[in-house]
Chain A
Amino acid sequence: MTCEWRDKIGAYLDNELSEADDLAMSRHLRTCQDCAMAALGSRKLKVSIKRAASGRFVPSPEFRSRIGKAVAPRSRSLPSWLPGFALAATAIIVVAVGLGLLLRPRQHDVLVEITDLHVSTLASANPVDVISTDRHTVKPWFQGKLPFTFDLPELQNSEFHLIGGRMAYVAQGPGAQLLFGVRKHQISAFVFQEREGFARLGAAPKTSQNLAFNLETWTDRGLRYVVISDASAADVLALAKLLRSAE
């Protein structure tokens, strides 16, 4: 004869009994040896199945990256918004370059180049090559890629956050481009070795609002820094100060 409780053992082990039934079952199991043995067996089976079947089949890295590409927000599998996005990006570049050409004073050629870099970065599907909010990840990424090194500030108590970095080339020289975010705006900070082309910009910190972007530039220990964004002049200045204080 089978005990009337026997049918509920499964639900008991699955945690699916009501509180009252659960309590009653626990009590029953202390007194009914048959049910206790059955519960033990069922529990063993449940655990063994979990162990044997969970993670038994693992997606290959190729497959994982195939799915990753298919669901990535900027992938080609999202044609509904892509044309609009591309159009907007092109428009931004055209307007920015146009503004740059109209407004650029001659001696600021190098700034036009940097402005273009900043704008094309924002329009890019892959704005940064190293994506990290951690300065201790971003800085080492440039090791071996640049003939110089630089320091990144602690941003924890500021309203800025690090988005990532990429290599940048201005006048055929390599440099670092760091992308920061502040509210909805993005700010590029460029670091190059100081060269003749930059000399006219002056060594002392200088704020500029040319080219329809806010811009801050200075030199420090042989390196030229340029911070540029469509964010407010105050934001650009604040980030520039943080960068200057980095050690």
Chain B
Amino acid sequence: MHDDRGNAETFEALAMPLLAPLYNFAHWLAGNRDEAEDLVQETYVKALKGFGSFTPGTNFRAWMYRILRNTFLTSRTGLKATVSLDDEENPVTQPAADDDPESLLFARADQEEIRRALEQLPVVHREIILLCDVEEMSYKEIAELAGIPIGTVMSRLSRARSSMRSLLRTKLQGARQ
């Protein structure tokens, strides 16, 4: 009895500081507030129940993100979003040569444009960019939480970034003309 309470206290202390970033991540994945709230709530309930199987001293944050991600992938939006996205085997299509150096191009992109481009990315691409650039997770952490090899993390990330670049390029150059 005492141990369960101790566990719950530890869980609360570890999990509550992650609420804001997890919710942000969930909202980016699901695309709306209701689903983001459902996802996060389900994540916390599952994590609390399964906290006994969490090894103390290992990466709690990655563990929480993995639960959230799995919850999302089995949700209706998640299932829809991830159909036919295994494009890792296809060659990366190089973006067409452009006049503008990217440094100048992205300097003109405002936050709203970056956000819109991010929203338009397929969910696996959006996800990996968020984990790497926003959550600042290492390739190894991402590989573990997504259950993929590090090589796949790298190729998926590079593909995600070139999609992001071409989306922005189209938007910015289109807007200029």
Report if A and B associate in a common complex: yes
By beta carbon, the residue of chain B nearest A67 is: B44
By beta carbon, the residue of chain B nearest A36 is: B103
Interface string of A108-130 (1 = CB under 8 A from B): 00000000000000000000000
- CB within 8 A of A45: which of B16, B134, B161? B161
Q: Are A45 and B165 in contact (CB under 8 A)?
A: yes
By beta carbon, the residue of chain A nearest B3 is: A81
Smallest distance from the beta carbon of A204 to chain B beta carbons, Å? Answer: 40
Q: Are B103 and A44 in contact (CB under 8 A)?
A: yes
Contacting residues, chain B, for A78 (C-beta < 8 A):
4, 8
Query: Quick one: which of A53-94 are within 8 Å of B by CB?
Result: 53-59, 63-64, 66-68, 70-74, 77-78, 80-81, 84-85, 88
Q: How large is the interface on A (under 10, 10 to 19, 20 to 34, 35 or more residues)?
A: 35 or more
- At the interface, yes or no: B114 with Cβ under 8 Å from chain A? yes
- At the interface, yes or no: B158 with Cβ under 8 Å from chain A? yes
Smallest distance from the beta carbon of B138 to chain A beta carbons, Å? Answer: 7
Q: Are B28 and A57 in contact (CB under 8 A)?
A: yes
- At the interface, yes or no: B123 with Cβ under 8 Å from chain A? no
Q: How large is the interface on B (under 10, 10 to 19, 20 to 34, 35 or more residues)?
A: 35 or more
Q: Are B20 and A58 in contact (CB under 8 A)?
A: yes
Smallest distance from the beta carbon of B45 to chain A beta carbons, Å? Answer: 6
By beta carbon, the residue of chain B nearest A16 is: B139
Q: Are A49 and B134 in contact (CB under 8 A)?
A: yes
Q: Are A48 and B20 in contact (CB under 8 A)?
A: no
Contacting residues, chain B, for A132 (C-beta < 8 A):
none
Contacting residues, chain A, for B165 (C-beta < 8 A):
45
Q: Are A49 and B102 in contact (CB under 8 A)?
A: no
Contacting residues, chain B, for A85 (C-beta < 8 A):
1, 5
A41-B101, A59-B19 as given contacts; A14 in contact with B132, CB under 8 Å: yes
Interface string of B24-41 (1 = CB under 8 A from A): 100110000100110011
Query: Quick one: which of B109-130 are within 8 Å of A by CB?
Result: 109, 111-112, 114-115, 118, 129-130
Smallest distance from the beta carbon of B40 to chain A beta carbons, Å? Answer: 7
Q: Are A70 and B44 in contact (CB under 8 A)?
A: yes
Contacting residues, chain B, for A45 (C-beta < 8 A):
102, 106, 161, 164-165, 168
Main secondary structure of the interface of A (DSSP, over half): helix
What separation, in Å, do the CA atoms of A41 and B111 have in the docked complex? 16
- At the interface, yes or no: A102 with Cβ under 8 Å from chain B? no
Smallest distance from the beta carbon of B52 to chain A beta carbons, Å? Answer: 11
Q: Are A71 and B15 in contact (CB under 8 A)?
A: yes
- At the interface, yes or no: B68 with Cβ under 8 Å from chain A? no
Q: Are A81 and B134 in contact (CB under 8 A)?
A: no
- CB within 8 A of A16: which of B37, B115, B138? B138
Contacting residues, chain A, for B1 (C-beta < 8 A):
81, 84-85, 88
What separation, in Å, do the CA atoms of A28 and B103 have in the docked complex? 18
Smallest distance from the beta carbon of B58 to chain A beta carbons, Å? Answer: 19
What separation, in Å, do the CA atoms of A42 and B45 have in the docked complex? 38
What separation, in Å, do the CA atoms of A10 and B12 have in the docked complex? 36
Q: Are A7 and B158 in contact (CB under 8 A)?
A: yes
Q: Are A59 and B23 in contact (CB under 8 A)?
A: yes
Contacting residues, chain A, for B114 (C-beta < 8 A):
48-49, 51-53
Q: Mind listing 26 A-B residue pairs with CB under 8 Å?
A: A7-B158, A10-B158, A10-B161, A41-B106, A48-B111, A48-B114, A49-B133, A49-B134, A50-B136, A51-B114, A52-B111, A52-B112, A53-B118, A56-B24, A56-B28, A56-B115, A57-B24, A57-B36, A58-B24, A66-B41, A67-B44, A71-B15, A72-B8, A74-B5, A78-B8, A88-B1
Binding site for B on A (CB under 8 A): 7, 10-11, 14-16, 37-38, 40-42, 44-46, 48-59, 63-64, 66-68, 70-74, 77-78, 80-81, 84-85, 88
> Can you add 4 more A-B contacts, CB < 8 Å, to A42-B161, A54-B134, A56-B115?
A14-B139, A41-B102, A45-B165, A67-B16
